Amino acid sequence: MTNRLPQTLRSDAQGNRDRILDAARTLFAAEGLNVTMRAIARRAEVGPATLYRRFPTKQMLVTEAFMEQMRACHAIVDEGLADPDPWRGFCLVIERTCELHALNRGFTDVFMVTFPDAVDFAADREHTLNSIAELARRAQSTGRLRPDFVLDDLILMLMANRGIHTTSTTTRVAASRRFAALVIQAFQASPTHMSLPPVARLASAAPLKNV
């Protein structure tokens, strides 16, 4: 019994940690980073003391919770850079990035540094933006990306994409895909009228007649 007790405690501690992270990821994705630590503890079904024992600060919890999304963001940009067609690679980054951020509102907050203490991602964010800037220069050299595109336009896009509000993740992603298609057309040096993804019916939108 004496030999088995420490292992049982470690297993319990790991289980608590996993539940806390699962709860944090779920709440951050749906509501952003304003979720309180108490709400996370409540959803994870652990006491506040247990939460703070595993994650002494909210910054530590945020950093751990969004590691996977940051790696996914890097992978998207790397895939875009690897495409022999810079414009196609640039479009891929726009489409996949919008979808990634639509799935997780909290990640947009982290990436946009709207959560002041989430400084652990500063280097990751800089690397991602520098890589996108390089991809944009390549796309501009082909004449497909408008010459006046700047990184601030990408930030503006992410801010607008985060503004898509709906309780349904499926609808939010569908709306984000259509938004990305519109953005890509706006970024083209010579816009072409390509077919857009299906319309996402947003509950807050008033129906338009005769359109």
- pLDDT band for 114, please (50, 70, 90 cuts): low
Q: How far apart are CA 116 and CA 143, in angstroms?
A: 38
Given pLDDT bands bounded at 50, 70 and 90, which one contains residue 5? very low
Rounding to the nearest 10 degrees, give the CA dihedral for residues 147, 72, 54, 106: 50
Phi-psi region of 32 (alpha: psi -120 to 50; beta: other; left: phi over 0): left
Mean pLDDT, to the nearest integer, of 12-22?
A: 89
Average pLDDT over residues 64-85: 94
Domains of the chain, earliest start first: 10-58 (1.10.10.60), 67-187 (1.10.357)
DSSP 207: P
Note the pTM of the prediction, 2 decimals.
Answer: 0.80
Tens digits of per-residue pLDDT, 146-197? 999 999 999 999 999 988 888 788 999 999 999 999 999 999 998 777 777 8
